[in-house]
Amino acid sequence: MFFEGSEKKVEVIIKNASFSLIDNVTDEFWVELVKRANAKILSCIQNKYCKAFILSESSLFVWHDRFVILTCGVTHLVNSVEYFIQEQGIECIEYLTYQRKNEYYSHAQLSCFGDDIKVLNKYIKGNALRFGEMDSHHTFLFYKQGEHRVQNKSYELLAYHISEQASEKFINPNITVQEIRRFLQLDKLLPDFLIDDHIFDPYGYSVNAIKDDKYLTIHVTPQAESSYVSVESNINLIKLSPLILKVLKPKSFDLLSFNEVEFKALIKQYINRQYVSKSLVEQQLKNGCNVHFANYVLPQHNFITATVFDLLEDHNEL
C-alpha cells in the first residue's frame, strides 16, 4: 500500500516577546490548527522550552516564540496557516516559511504549491523559489518578505530507498518501539532527549525528541517500493549523517539546511564518499536566511527487475 510520505512544512516566528505560543495559546487552538490540515494530534511531550506533538501525519513543535509543523499524506497544510493568521492576526508574524517537497503522487494531492502560495499571497507578501531540479527531488519554498534579525540553524535529511533490511524491520507487524529505537540508535543520536514515538497501522513510524530548545523528528514510510525517511532538526544533521546513513543505507538522500554557513565544509567532511552529488544549490534569501540544498545518489552497478504495478495498491488507496 502506497503512502505519500513527502511533507509540507511551515515555520512561523512571532513578533511579540511578551506573548508565548506555549503559555498564552490553548491546546484547543493547536488541535483546531492541526485539524484544518486534515490531521489530528496523537500525543504530546513537553519541557520548559518546547511542546512537541505527534500528529496522525507527522509533527508539530511549539516554542514560546515560534512553531514548526510538518504534515505528510494528503493534508492541506496551507489551511492551518490561514487558521493561524485568522486567529492570531497577520501582524504578529515576524517570519514565515512554507515549504513543499515534490510528491510521489502529486495528482492525488488536494492542491499544488502554486495553489498554496496563491492562498498565502492573500495575506502575506513573499517570494517563492525552487531548490533542486524539476525532474528530480526538489523543494519549493515560499517566505515572507522582510529581513529577520535572528538566523536559527535547521536541517533536513530526507532518505529514499532505505536498505531492504531497514525496510523489513519497519514493516514487521510485531516490532516494538523499543526495537525501532535500538535499530535507529536513538540513544547515540539523541542522548538525554525526551522521546515520544508512535508505530502506525499498517506501516509507519514517527518519533519526536526534545532537549531544552533542541528538537529532532523522524518519520518513516517503510514500504519497500517507495520507502522514505525524513529527519528534521535544529541540531546539526550533517554531522549526524554518517550514523543515519549507516543505519538506513538509502540509495539517495537530500540535505537541506537553513543558515548553516559551514555547509560546504561540512558536506566535504561528513558525507560518505560512496554517494555522488547530483544537485547542489545555495541561495541567500531576501529575508536574511541562507539556504543550501544537496541531493546525493549511490551509483548502482547491478540490474534489478521491474516493479509490478498493482492497480488497486498503487492507484486507489492514497
Q: Kindly state the smallest distance separating residue 170's Cβ from a copy of itself, in Å.
A: 17
Cell numbers found for residue 10 = 511551515
Q: Kindly state the smallest distance separating residue 200's Cβ from a copy of itself, in Å.
A: 20
Is the Cβ of residue 188 or residue 315 nearer to a copy of itself in the bound state? 315
Using CB under 8 A, pick the residue from 24, 43, 269, 316 that binds a copy of itself: 316
**Can you say how many angstroms the Cα of residue 18 is from the centroid of all Cα atoms in its chain?**
29
- For 2, other C-beta atoms within 10 Å of its C-beta total 18
- For 27, other C-beta atoms within 10 Å of its C-beta total 12
Is the Cβ of residue 173 or residue 299 nearer to a copy of itself in the bound state? 299
Using CB under 8 A, pick the residue from 115, 147, 179, 212 that binds a copy of itself: 115
Q: Kindly state the smallest distance separating residue 224's Cβ from a copy of itself, in Å.
A: 11
35 belongs to the binding site for a copy of itself (CB under 8 A): no
Identify which range of 72-80, 83-91, 120-128, 212-220 contacts a copy of itself by CB under 8 A. 120-128
**What whole-number distance in Å separates Cα of residue 184 and Cα of residue 250?**
14
**What whole-number distance in Å separates Cα of residue 258 and Cα of residue 250?**
23
Strand partners of residue 63: 50
139 CB contacts (<8 Å, ≥6 apart)? 99, 100, 101, 102, 130, 131, 132, 254, 256, 293
Is the Cβ of residue 113 or residue 205 nearer to a copy of itself in the bound state? 113
Between the CA of residue 21 and those of 50, 84, 91, 99, 159, what are the distances in Å? 10, 11, 15, 21, 32
Q: What are phi and psi of 90, to 5 degrees?
A: -65, -30
276 belongs to the binding site for a copy of itself (CB under 8 A): yes
Segment holding 7, helix H or strand E: none
**Can you say how many angstroms the Cα of residue 1 is from the centroid of all Cα atoms in its chain?**
21
Identify which range of 9-17, 61-69, 70-78, 111-119 contacts a copy of itself by CB under 8 A. 111-119
133 belongs to the binding site for a copy of itself (CB under 8 A): yes
305 belongs to the binding site for a copy of itself (CB under 8 A): yes
Identify which range of 34-42, 64-72, 79-87, 114-122 contacts a copy of itself by CB under 8 A. 114-122
303 belongs to the binding site for a copy of itself (CB under 8 A): yes
**What whole-number distance in Å separates Cα of residue 268 and Cα of residue 279?**
15
Is the Cβ of residue 188 or residue 268 nearer to a copy of itself in the bound state? 268
Using CB under 8 A, pick the residue from 161, 217, 219, 266 that binds a copy of itself: 161
R_g (Cα) of the chain, nearest Å: 19
Using CB under 8 A, pick the residue from 42, 123, 251, 288 that binds a copy of itself: 251
Cell numbers found for residue 147 = 529581513
Q: Which residues of the chain form contacts with a copy of itself (CB under 8 A)?
A: 104-107, 109, 112-115, 117-118, 121, 127-131, 133-137, 140-142, 160-161, 225-226, 228, 251-252, 264, 276-283, 291-293, 297, 299-309, 311, 314-316
